[in-house]
């Protein structure tokens, strides 16, 4: 893109997210370089910028790029592996054994690249990742042109990536140091979960989080079993243990947060913590339904994540928006719970806020980066349209995403990836699928013997 070249995207509707609930009919977003320059009615934009490059998306709604607040991108290569099992059986019998044998920089790069393609085609412009070999994930995200928050994963178990918690932390921080000047990348500390990380490691992480001002991205209160084990081992529920160890605060992103007592919701609100809500994964693994309406009412910032494709099995934030809104209504008994504009905010600005990126992305605001998604509302199955915001959350699907920009660069045009080669990605997926299938069958045979 030529510096200072004005690009005018005209849309039937522009939903900027800020101010809340605003829907601008027949408006244009003017982009200069990698930033949003201004937003104005289409007629005014044509008068002010007669020589600008213009894109006519009259039947489309233009929104901020969606943000996936929690995923394990490389696990896209394990989509459908060990389905219809509980969390711990799924992990112990399928996922962890496969990872121990196959996880490598090549595995992570190819899996993350496949995930980037899926997310981009679904309107996602930024994702928060937790996995091994973050340098390989970074290479994939940068190759795809996506914005990514990469996790410095910490776990006590040996893996092909590291030997113990100290080794994970050392390698992850070295990756951050090597990549911290990449404008599309940021980092989070990513202890896996309270049941896989020791008090000693948590204490070190609390120090680093404070010194480096990094988010702490952790699975917590995902299952009732996790809570029972914590009480048995530590005499505390997981959140109270994290509080004792100094982890609760504005940097904490509590992933799942399904099983919360009222005092724990108040605790999250008191410490200005964030929650990454993953409704599809929570349902598929029978973990439960997070009390999102109560969290919202308490003032807790809640964003949306998909979890990995191995436990969802889609990296589809539009689906998560709809499901989050419907579950909140059903669980609370209030049809007014989590209205459409709140669901969209959870998938954009709230997620950006949790990652410390709300100054840069998450809403269509002049001065922010031009991370945008266009959704075509002209399809027969979306007609008629009375309320574009309601349609976006309750009717539209990722198949209706037409255009996606990151930093002003068009990465999806009329549903087609502009940077990534779909045939090449299919070949990579097939290669890894054969290896994983063979490995998983071998494990089953050994287990039966």
Predicted confidence at residue 2, as pLDDT, reads 46
Q: Is residue 445 part of a domain?
A: no
416 has a pLDDT exceeding 80: yes
Tell whether 86 and 183 lie within a shared domain. Answer: yes
Query: Same domain, yes or no, for 296 and 163?
Result: yes
Asked if 297 and 404 sit in the same domain, the reply is no
Strand-pair partners of 304: 277
Q: For residue range 91-147, what is the model confidence (pLDDT) as tens digits?
A: 888 888 888 889 999 999 999 999 999 999 999 999 999 999 999 999 999 999 999
Q: Exposure pattern of 260-276 as b/e (b: 16+ CB <10 Å)?
A: beeebbebbeebebbbb
Of the pLDDT bands very low, low, confident and very high (cuts 50, 70, 90), residue 239 is very high
Residue 102, phi-psi category: left (phi > 0), alpha (psi -120 to 50), beta (remainder): alpha
Residue 393, token pair as written in the block: 């959350």
Asked which of 301, 330, 354 is the last residue of a domain, the reply is: 354
Q: Which helix (H) or strand (E) holds 279?
A: helix 279-284
- Please indicate, yes or no, if residue 409 is contained in any of the structural domains: yes
Domain encompassing residue 43:
6-64+368-417
Structurally, how many domains does the chain consist of? 2
User: Three-state SS across 391-427?
Assistant: HHHHCCCHHHEEEEEECCEEEEECCEECCCCHHHHHH
| Adjacent-strand bridge partners of 53 | 7
CB 428 within 8 A of CB 106: no
Distance of CA 38 to the CA centre of its chain: 27
Mean pLDDT of 336-359: 98
Local confidence band at 3 (pLDDT 50, 70, 90 cut-offs): low
Domain assignment present for 128: yes
Same domain, 192 and 237: yes
| Residue 59: inside a domain | yes
Categorize the per-residue pLDDT at 442 as very low, low, confident or very high, splitting at 50, 70 and 90: low
- Do 52 and 75 belong to one domain? no
Strands (E), 65-123: 66-71
Q: Are residues 338 and 381 in the same domain?
A: no
Of 354, 387, 406, the residue that ends a domain is 354
CATH number, domain at 11? 2.30.40.10
Contacts for 127 with CB less than 8 Å, ≥ 6 apart: 67, 68, 71, 73, 115, 116, 119, 141, 146, 147, 148, 149, 315
How confident is the model at residue 448, as a pLDDT? Answer: 36
Q: How far is CA 101 from the centre of its chain?
A: 27
Q: What is the CA radius of gyration of the chain?
A: 21
> Does 70 lie in the same domain as 58?
no
Does 11 lie in the same domain as 91? no
Confidence of residue 1 (pLDDT cuts 50, 70, 90): very low
Would the pLDDT of 86 be above 90? no
Residues β-bridged to residue 431: none
The pLDDT, as a whole number, for residue 343 is 98
Q: What is the pTM of this model?
A: 0.96
Does residue 448 lie in a domain region? Answer: no
**Looking at the structure, do residues 204 and 267 belong to the same domain, yes or no?**
yes
**Is the CB of residue 18 less than 8 Å from the CB of residue 8?**
no
My answer on whether 160 and 253 are in the same domain is yes
Is 287 in the same domain as 176?
yes
Per the CB < 8 A criterion, the answer to whether 270 and 249 are in contact is: no
Backbone angles phi, psi at 313, to 5 degrees: -115, 35
* Structure confidence at residue 49 (pLDDT): 96
Q: What is the pLDDT at residue 444?
A: 52
CA–CA separation, 83 and 81 (whole Å): 6
- The label of the residue with tokens 């894109």 reads 55
Q: What percent of the chain has pLDDT over 90?
A: 91
Does the pLDDT of residue 265 top 50, yes or no? yes
Mean pLDDT for 73-97 is 88
| 245 and 388 fall within a common domain | no
Mean pLDDT of 382-393: 97
- 48 within a domain of the structure (yes/no): yes
């Amino acid at each position: 893109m030529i510096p200072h070249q004005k690009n005018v995207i005209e849309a039937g509707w522009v939903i900027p997210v800020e101010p809340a609930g605003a829907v601008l009919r027949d408006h244009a977003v003017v982009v200069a370089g990698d930033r949003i320059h201004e937003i104005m009615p289409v007629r005014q934009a044509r008068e002010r910028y007669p020589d600008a490059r213009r894109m006519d998306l009259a039947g489309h709604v233009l929104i901020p790029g969606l943000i996936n607040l929690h995923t394990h991108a490389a696990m896209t290569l394990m989509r459908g592996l060990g389905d219809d099992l509980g969390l711990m059986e799924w992990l112990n019998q399928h996922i962890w054994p496969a990872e121990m044998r196959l996880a490598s920089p090549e595995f992570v790069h190819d899996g993350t690249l496949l995930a980037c393609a899926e997310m981009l085609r679904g309107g996602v412009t930024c994702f928060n990742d937790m996995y091994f070999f973050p340098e390989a994930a970074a290479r994939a995200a940068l190759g795809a042109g996506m914005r990514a928050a990469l996790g410095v994963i910490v776990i006590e178990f040996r893996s092909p990536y590291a030997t113990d918690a100290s080794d994970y932390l050392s390698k992850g921080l070295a990756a951050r140091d090597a990549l911290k000047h990449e404008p599309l990348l940021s980092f989070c500390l990513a202890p896996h979960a309270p049941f896989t990380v020791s008090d000693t490691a948590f204490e070190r992480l609390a120090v680093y989080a404070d010194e480096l001002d990094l988010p702490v991205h952790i699975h917590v209160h995902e299952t009732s079993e996790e809570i029972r084990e914590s009480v048995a081992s530590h005499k505390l529920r997981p959140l109270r243990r994290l509080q004792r160890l100094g982890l609760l605060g504005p940097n904490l992103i509590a992933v799942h947060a399904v099983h919360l007592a009222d005092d724990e919701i108040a605790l999250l609100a008191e410490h200005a913590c964030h929650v990454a809500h993953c409704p599809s994964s929570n349902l598929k693994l029978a973990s439960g339904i997070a009390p999102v309406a109560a969290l919202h009412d308490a003032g807790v910032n809640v964003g949306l994540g998909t979890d990995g494709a191995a436990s969802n099995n889609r990296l589809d934030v539009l689906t998560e928006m709809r499901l989050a809104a419907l579950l909140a209504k059903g669980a609370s008994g209030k049809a007014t719970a989590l209205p459409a504009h709140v669901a969209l905010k959870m998938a954009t600005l709230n997620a950006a806020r949790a990652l410390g990126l709300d100054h840069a992305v998450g809403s269509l605001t002049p001065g922010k980066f031009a991370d945008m998604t266009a959704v075509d509302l002209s399809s027969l199955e979306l007609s008629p349209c009375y309320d574009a915001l309601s349609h976006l959350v309750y009717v539209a699907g990722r198949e209706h995403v037409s255009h996606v920009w990151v930093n002003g660069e068009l990465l999806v045009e009329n549903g087609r990836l502009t940077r990534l080669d779909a045939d090449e990605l299919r070949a990579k997926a097939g290669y890894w699928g054969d290896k994983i299938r063979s490995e998983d069958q071998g494990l089953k045979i050994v287990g039966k013997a």
